[in-house]
């Protein structure tokens, strides 16, 4: 059984490597990574703009956060 398991593992790793190489060779990976980066940038800009509106003017803490949390 151990020889069969070793052969199965070797074939599975080889097929996984081929599948990963095929994915990286296409534009699908780069398009998905670019879309994720654009989404993260847009989200961080919204959080940055939204956090300015949430500030409590008296002491600079966030209005929704408890006083001792920040």
- CA–centroid distance for 57 within its chain: 34
pLDDT, tens digit (0-9, with 9 covering 90-100), for 14-41? 999 999 998 888 888 888 888 999 998 8
Please report the DSSP string for 15-46 in residue order.
HHHHHHHHHHHSSHHHHHHHHHHHHHHHHHHH
Q: How confident is the model at residue 12 (pLDDT cuts 50, 70, 90)?
A: very high
pLDDT given for residue 60 in this prediction = 53
The CA distance from 37 to 55, in Å, is 27
């Amino acid at each position: 059984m151990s020889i069969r398991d070793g052969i199965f593992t070797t074939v599975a790793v080889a097929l996984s490597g081929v599948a990963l190489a095929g994915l990286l060779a296409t534009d699908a990976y780069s398009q998905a990574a670019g879309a994720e980066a654009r989404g993260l940038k847009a989200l961080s800009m919204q959080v940055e703009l939204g956090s300015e509106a949430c500030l409590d003017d008296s002491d600079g803490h966030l209005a929704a956060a408890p006083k001792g949390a920040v």
